[in-house]
Structure 1
Amino acid sequence: MIYLIFGHSGSGKSTLREALTKKGLNKIITYTTRTPRPGEINGVDYNFIDKSQFKKMEEKNLFIGSTCYAGNFYSTLKEDLEKNNNDLNDCVIVVDKEGIIAIKKEFKNVISIYLKCSKEILKKRMIKRCEDESVIEKRLSVLENLDEYADYIIDSDEDMDIVLSDVLKIIKIHSVVK
């Protein structure tokens, strides 16, 4: 099963992905042209590439669900999903709505989980991770309701242990790895 984790910046997507990886799910690492945040590692958090590399890979049709957010490009390597699209693996990937639409169109065994978070909590979390005030305001100004893209909606205002527990219950229902 492919588990798509999505939500707004600060909703806990990356934290949840790391927790699920520790529980045995394969992590799909997406590509981005944004610069790493403090503590982020290339090939672990994202595959950080420049815009020229991104465009070349996109022209070769290597990506699925490409998007531009806050002036940076993001996408998933199709090959990474194809490798994990079998009865032996469950994998987790952080995506946005374009990624959900594209991946669900191409793959059948996909569950999308929306980490829905209040604007106040999003702002607090972005401040805590030392985001620039202008970046925070830009991200908060483009918030939209993503309910329609979700198979499941999780209240991510909650403590991450509660969020993880709720997501593990969903995975237990759908997991291909028994």
Structure 2
Amino acid sequence: MVELKDRELIFVFTGPDGSGRKTIADSVGSTLGLTKVLSYATRKPRPGEVNGQDYHFITPELYEALDASCDFIESVTISGNRYGLRENDISRSFQNNGCIYLILNPEGAEILKQTYGDHVIRLFIYADRQTVEERQREEGQSEDIIADRLSHYETDMAYQSKCEHAFENYDLAHTVFEITNVLEGYLQRDLVERD
């Protein structure tokens, strides 16, 4: 297990694809001033994704070279694509901010929990299967990608019971507000309300 300082926390947003975890994570992270740590991915960007903002999109060859030099603290293969998180990116982010956030699939979230223990707080974001499917269509995802993502839905949902917190996401503003309040408790910034 990797040692972190007492107040260093990693908030991991996880759940099925199409649950809204990315939108929620970025809204909460922005509201609370948290640093986002990006994963590396060998796949092509999907509609609306931006290199350096959603993932670091790299070639399979570069990924293999980084993996061979043990750069990744977490590395998974999903639907033939590789996704990894560099330990160096996490430690560098802690220099800027005592708490960071990531968006990972359940498999990646579990690896991070095993690596960093109680410093990892998993926030499971979910919606029913039909809603998730509709959201992916609205994003302009291809039917092949939607079918592939939905094939993981039940497995992803089963991970909910392992997470520290779970949030149903049908009303974005409400979900962001609810999660922000929960995370404030972890941050212990002693905020004082003023009249």
Counting only pairs closer than 5 Å after superposition, residues 29-178 of structure 1 correspond to structure 2 as: 29-85=38-94, 88-107=97-116, 108-143=118-153, 144=155, 145-156=158-169, 158-175=170-187, 177-178=189-190
Q: For structure 1, which segment, 101-110 or 30-39, has the greater mean C-alpha deviation from structure 2 after superposition?
A: 101-110
Counterpart position of 1:18: 26
CA contact (8 A) 1:155 1:163 kept: yes
Identity across matched positions, percent = 24
| Cα RMSD (Å) | 1.8
AA aligned to 1:153 is: A
The alpha carbon displacement at 1:106 in A equals 2.3
Separation of aligned partners in 2, 1:115 and 1:91: 18
Structure with greater helix percent: 2
Q: Which runs of 5+ in 2 are unaligned?
A: 1-8, 191-195
Calculate the TM-score normalised by the size of structure 2: 0.84
Could you list the per-position Cα deviations for residues 36-94 of structure 1 after superposition, in whole angstroms to 9, with x for gaps in the alignment? 12332211111001111111111111112211112211111111222344795221100
Separation of aligned partners in 1, 2:131 and 2:171: 11
The 3-state SS of whatever aligns with 2:46 is coil
CA contact (8 A) 1:90 1:176 kept: no
Separation of aligned partners in 2, 1:40 and 1:177: 33
Separation of aligned partners in 1, 2:189 and 2:108: 24
AA aligned to 2:186 is: H
Q: Which runs of 5+ in 1 are unaligned?
A: none
The alpha carbon displacement at 1:17 in A equals 2.1
- Segments of 4+ moved more than 6 angstroms: none
Could you list the per-position Cα deviations for residues 18-50 of structure 1 after superposition, in whole angstroms to 9, with x for gaps in the alignment? 212321111111111111123322111110011
The alpha carbon displacement at 1:102 in A equals 2.1
User: What is the aligned length?
Assistant: 177
Calculate the TM-score normalised by the size of structure 1: 0.91
AA aligned to 2:163 is: A
Counterpart position of 1:9: 17
AA aligned to 1:48 is: F
